[in-house]
Amino acid sequence: MKIALITGGSAGIGQATARLLARRGIGVVTTFRSHPGDAEQTVADIEAEGGAAIALPLDLARVEGIDDFIDGLRSEMESRWGTGTLDYLVNNAGIGGPAMFADITEETFDTFHNVLFKGPYFLTQKLLPVLADGAAIVNTGSTSALPSRTTPGYSAYAAYKSAMHTVTAFWAKELAHRGIRVNAVAPGTTRTRIADDAFSRMPELVPAIAEAIALGRIGEPDDVAQAIAFLLSDAAAWVTGQVLEVSGGERL
């Protein structure tokens, strides 16, 4: 059985990806920071469908805790699946929400830095001995980081998502000798828990946003999960170093 680690799997894109990969016979390790009940529900849903999954706590804002997380990860994989090796990594966990340049605080800036860039950067680095040769990595970026998108209030968020887009190509180059592919998805507006679950709290926002999307609706977590699963799969065996926009044609 191949094993995937998906950070931030208690809701949204991470949860949808975990369920999809499990349905394809992949063992899933998902992480959570502040919603353990939701993460355990993800595991329960996967097991109810005949899949295999575990959920582990991980706070990407605390890089000093990554070594202990990896020790626990390897122990859990050995116990559950008899292996200490990962085949897939999805750097998905994140935070977000508007923070205008004139108002953003140093605390918010540093939190974005730690969770969106520094955390996944060093998690991936420290996982290199755990990743199998021929493994695949997918980073979750954002259309807000694309050159043509300049939405007010997202300068810090977009800067760190852009950083993840950039390292995707460098990691792809540096890990190619091991056959490890590295790609990213750049989701457009997607119904997730980001920004304090804005779409659930304010559903009246959805129709206006959908008007700017060629396919006429906002994205659902499953839309992005399908793209992630493709980039992880052998169907994308000749694809590396790429950022794939998954937005339904937003702002075409």
Residues labelled catalytic: 157
C-alpha separations of 127 from 10, 45, 122, 236 in Å: 21, 27, 8, 22
Burial (CB count within 10 angstroms: exposed 0-12, middle 13-18, buried 19+), residue 191: buried
- 3-state SS, 174-219, equals HHHHHCCEEEEEEECCECCCHHHHHHHHCHHHHHHHHCCECCCCCE
Give the largest Cα separation in the chain, rounded.
52
C-alpha to C-alpha distance for 14 and 29, rounded to whole angstroms: 11
Look up residue 18 and give its two tokens: 């975990």
